[in-house]
Structure 1
Amino acid sequence: MNQTITSKPSNYRWTICGLLFIATSINYLDRQVLSLTWKDFIQPEFHWNNNDYGNITALFSIFYAVSMFFAGKFVDFMDTKKGFLWAIGVWSLGAVLHAFCGIAASGILTGNWFVSFHESKEIIKTVDNVALVGSTSVMLFIFARFVLAVGEAGNFPAAIKTTAEYFPKKDRALATSIFNAGAAVGALSAPLIIPRIAERLGWEMAFIIIGVLGFVWMGFWVFLYQKPEHNKRCNSAELEYIQQDHGLEEEVSKNSKVSFVQCFKYKQTWAFAFGKFMTDGVWWFYMFWTPAYLSSVYGIKSNDDLGQAAIFVLYTITLLSIVGGWLPTYFINKKGMDPYAGRMKAMLIFAFFPLLALIAQPLGSYSFWLPVIIIGIAGAGHQAWSANIMSTVGDMFPKKAIATITGIGGMAGGIGSLIINKGSGVLFDFAGETQMEFMGFKGEEAGYFIIFSICAVVYLIGWTVMKSLVPVYKPVTDL
């Protein structure tokens, strides 16, 4: 250990946190490209409907869920540095693959493989079988989403493990909320960047340009990341601060391997997994369907200035979620609470914010800005909740199991996301075709009101079950 002795701690841990923030921003940028291009650019080319898009997003969710189950174990096995490199490399490749779905579709349908993006569009126009064009393109996009999902599944297990390495327990929720804010920044930047790229250069270049950012990040990670005890940029005073919980976190088991079967023996695992299952899908619904919601209900397209302004305002509001990381630190430092109690109290407070989604659709009759603002507040509540629920893993489990447990919870969240995304697509098509009426709303508006209502109440349900399973702070010491 090569450390420079000094009385003033360095702050290199925040540089690492900054890298996690950028990685998470890129992660969400890559996810958002499809949601911001399918309705106005891809749908006219391939003749998709809401159910087609719902199938793609739902399958992405299940690919992500299954991959999360194994990604955490993979990151624990490969360790943080290599695990993160593999994750972002694979998902960046998956992001770029989306761009070539049109060329692949023209090749499958007509045998013309070696063509440009523009030429593939012209070739596809000559195909009379619209249903075949749609089904072929959907399958190709599903494959690209599969590769994207496999890689993206590694982001949060690796990021949470890195946070546990570089921050003491009392600061982990704050660090997590900061890097997790990258989700909002990625989603915030996306509508400003992606529709413009798609309009000027084609939707294919939007996938390529955003996908390349991940490969650039990999270079910084290689040169800047080392474990704190081996990192020359982290001095002895900072290392002492980072390791202040070392005695409490000392792992009693000499076995460095953690099996899935072992993890499922603990109520702490089930509590974390249930909380993720109930709430992850809400964020994904807001992210995947808000542009379509504005287009379908209010006629505001993602490439319109008004549509971009609406998404910008929405995700700017979600940045308030950084408070979610500060609040449990306040409870721990000022109120003397243990980390778990502080986080659970903070999570209960944040569980009430999504209830505003109950009035999003009713207030939309006055102005579309009201549901935009409400979704932003609900999204901020989700991200604050998310930062704390992910930090409970580090509170409860030894470092060697953090990525594995995070992966298990991520899988549960992915299953919840699958249900809400697939269910939304089916519901919106059904509501639109039948002009279904519900609570004074008709057609797709009725469908959105139903989903908004579900999104509003799941946090309180999740918190109640988590508190019932793990009522008090009880770290796992025999894993």
Structure 2
Amino acid sequence: MKNKTGNYRWTICALLFFGTTINYLDRQVLSLLHPVLEKEFGWTNSDYGTITAVFQLAYAFFMLLAGRFVDKLGVKKGYTIALIIWSIGAMIHAYAIEIGTVAANVLGVIGISGISVSVLGFIVARLVLGMGESANFPAAIKATAEYFPKKERALATGIFNSGSNIGAILAPLTVPWLAYHLGWQSSFIVIGALGFVWLIFWLYYYDTPLKQKRLSTEELQYIAHDTVYDKISEPYPEIKVNWLKLLTFRQTWAFTAGKFFTDGIWWFFLFWLPSYLTGQFNLTTTQITLPLTILYTMTMAGSIGGGWFPIYFINKGYSSYDGRMKAMFIIALFPLVVLLIQPFGYLSFWVPVILIGIGASAHQAWSANVYSTISDMFPKAAVASVAGIGGMAGGISGALMSVFVGRIFDHYKAIGDPKMGYTIVFTICALSYLLAWGIMKLLVPKMKIVRLEE
């Protein structure tokens, strides 16, 4: 069935793209300022690992709640509230010392001490940021399920998910400049305030498809023609979503495994690459702008290309899930190039930049598809909740990765062999996707749609 009746759904995709761009801009500011803040406050790798782990744990815990929150309130209200919280959280990083002083006094009253004021302040700010940002993907995935037929969802997901790459590209182009000319505090305030600009457009343009006056009847029919449970002329059926029941389905665990074994890799690429380039190649904060820009530009191709890739197999007659899994296996092979970083990285810093770029591109291609497996197999009423469960697993994975990386880097630095720490971490990055794919395939060998009312 070909659509020649309108393209308003792509306007919604554009909104989700810019929302995700701002989401990643906000979370990326700290990693770019890490070398500056490390010198100013005397942080160790373990200190920084703890700060980033708190963000990821908050992100993980609240993503579980955010999925349910978005399913209950709806995408428009849920996303609005989340964005306000995360934008405030991004901006209060500028006042981390003041916040840390208050937190230290409170902890002192109850007999807890030994944590520096700067670390405490950034922990609180990251906690608020993680709480708000946790709703971005459950809301965006649910919006995609509402506005796109199954065949187009991975492509739409790949496009809006590429906003994470644009955010990662824009951050090194803006944050160092703001920090140099206006001070590091200004970077958090200016970038954090962008969310409120986006909110104006979101409130004006977004509504559910059945209430959307800008959406033609023909386009609405096209959106719903291949979707289980959907009806064109009346609201979607009421289906009660129970977390415990969701946990009884192999499909839930397949998605959760896909997130748990791979999200920590992306968090590592996002939060530790600036420190890797400055620490291993003695590049300054401004010198890493070009390599990071090129690296994250590469990931855009992975995100959008990965979203398109399963369409090739679906057009050949595969079901949406089976075609997606076939594409994901091929995608999972690309991170293996990360194994070449340590043997050949000594040639130039461009070697790891390009190889990590390929691995990070593969992650974004993987991410576009693993998110789409939810709407392949679950009704729309459960999409955000399942996304929250898997997202929580991914956040926990990221937190564990941050703590592990911080500790292992400090350990090998202390014994005079910092490269060994990177060898271990890069090996994990290379092999995790094949492991995740194998577990997903074992749990759900063939497409099977979940019917919650049964």
TM-score by length of 1: 0.89
Q: Deviations over 1:24-83 (max 9, x none)?
A: 11011001000000212x222221111100101112111111111111001001111000
Asked whether the 8 Å contact 2:83–2:132 carries over to 1, the reply is yes
Answering whether residue 350 of structure 2 is matched by residue 369 of structure 1, we say yes
Report how far residue 352 of structure 1 moved. 0.4
Equivalent position amino acid for 1:453 in 2? T
Asked whether the 8 Å contact 1:258–1:400 carries over to 2, the reply is yes
The CA distance in 2 between the partners of 1:268 and 1:246, in whole Å, is: 17
Answering whether residue 432 of structure 2 is matched by residue 472 of structure 1, we say no
Report how far residue 249 of structure 1 moved. 4.9
Report how far residue 254 of structure 1 moved. 6.0
The CA distance in 1 between the partners of 2:407 and 2:135, in whole Å, is: 29
The CA distance in 1 between the partners of 2:79 and 2:104, in whole Å, is: 38
Report how far residue 87 of structure 1 moved. 1.0
Equivalent position amino acid for 2:410 in 1? D
Partner residue of 1:378 out of 359, 363, 379: 359
Equivalent position amino acid for 2:441 in 1? K
Distance 1:238 1:109, change over 3 A: closer
Report how far residue 257 of structure 1 moved. 2.6
Answering whether residue 339 of structure 2 is matched by residue 343 of structure 1, we say no
Asked whether the 8 Å contact 1:315–1:376 carries over to 2, the reply is yes
The CA distance in 1 between the partners of 2:271 and 2:169, in whole Å, is: 13
The CA distance in 1 between the partners of 2:176 and 2:228, in whole Å, is: 51
Larger Rg: 1
Q: Deviations over 1:156-214 (max 9, x none)?
A: 00000000000000000000000000111100111011011011101111000000011
TM-score by length of 2: 0.94
Answering whether residue 27 of structure 2 is matched by residue 27 of structure 1, we say no
Aligned to 1:82: 77
Report how far residue 348 of structure 1 moved. 0.3
Asked whether the 8 Å contact 2:224–2:230 carries over to 1, the reply is no
Asked whether the 8 Å contact 1:291–1:301 carries over to 2, the reply is no
SS at 1:56 equivalent: helix
Q: Deviations over 1:203-243 (max 9, x none)?
A: 11100000001111111111100112221211122111111
Asked whether the 8 Å contact 2:100–2:122 carries over to 1, the reply is no
Answering whether residue 440 of structure 2 is matched by residue 459 of structure 1, we say no
Aligned to 1:283: 266
Equivalent position amino acid for 1:245 in 2? D
SS at 2:368 equivalent: helix
Aligned to 1:12: 8
Aligned to 1:55: 50
Distance 1:249 1:271, change over 3 A: farther
The CA distance in 1 between the partners of 2:284 and 2:314, in whole Å, is: 45
Q: Which moved more, 1:407-416 or 1:237-246?
A: 237-246
Report how far residue 255 of structure 1 moved. 5.1
Distance 1:139 1:107, change over 3 A: closer
Equivalent position amino acid for 2:400 in 1? I
Asked whether the 8 Å contact 1:294–1:300 carries over to 2, the reply is yes
Equivalent position amino acid for 1:170 in 2? K
SS at 1:353 equivalent: helix
Distance 1:108 1:144, change over 3 A: closer
Gaps of 5+ in 2: 106-112
Alignment of structure 1 residues 190-339 onto 2, 5 Å = 190-246=171-227, 249=230, 256-304=239-287, 307-321=288-302, 322-333=304-315, 335-339=316-320
Asked whether the 8 Å contact 1:187–1:315 carries over to 2, the reply is yes
Gaps of 5+ in 1: 1-6, 111-130, 436-442
Distance 1:241 1:275, change over 3 A: same
Partner residue of 2:422 out of 420, 431, 448: 448
Answering whether residue 424 of structure 2 is matched by residue 428 of structure 1, we say no
Q: Deviations over 1:316-367 (max 9, x none)?
A: 111111110111112112x111000011011001000111111112211111
Partner residue of 2:39 out of 44, 48, 53: 44
Aligned to 1:188: 169
SS at 1:226 equivalent: coil
Asked whether the 8 Å contact 1:80–1:161 carries over to 2, the reply is yes
Distance 1:94 1:108, change over 3 A: closer
Report how far residue 101 of structure 1 moved. 1.0
SS at 1:344 equivalent: helix
Report how far residue 106 of structure 1 moved. 6.2
Equivalent position amino acid for 1:331 in 2? F
What count of residue pairs does the alignment treat as equivalent?
440
Asked whether the 8 Å contact 2:176–2:286 carries over to 1, the reply is yes
Distance 1:365 1:68, change over 3 A: same
Q: Deviations over 1:239-262 (max 9, x none)?
A: 1111112456579x9653311111
Asked whether the 8 Å contact 2:149–2:223 carries over to 1, the reply is yes
Asked whether the 8 Å contact 2:24–2:168 carries over to 1, the reply is yes
SS at 1:473 equivalent: coil
Equivalent position amino acid for 1:266 in 2? F
Asked whether the 8 Å contact 2:241–2:452 carries over to 1, the reply is no
The CA distance in 2 between the partners of 1:413 and 1:23, in whole Å, is: 20
Partner residue of 1:91 out of 83, 86, 91: 86
Answering whether residue 144 of structure 2 is matched by residue 163 of structure 1, we say yes
The CA distance in 2 between the partners of 1:389 and 1:201, in whole Å, is: 40
Equivalent position amino acid for 1:21 in 2? F
Q: Deviations over 1:124-143 (max 9, x none)?
A: xxxxxxx97x7111011101
Aligned to 1:125: none
Report how far residue 105 of structure 1 moved. 4.6
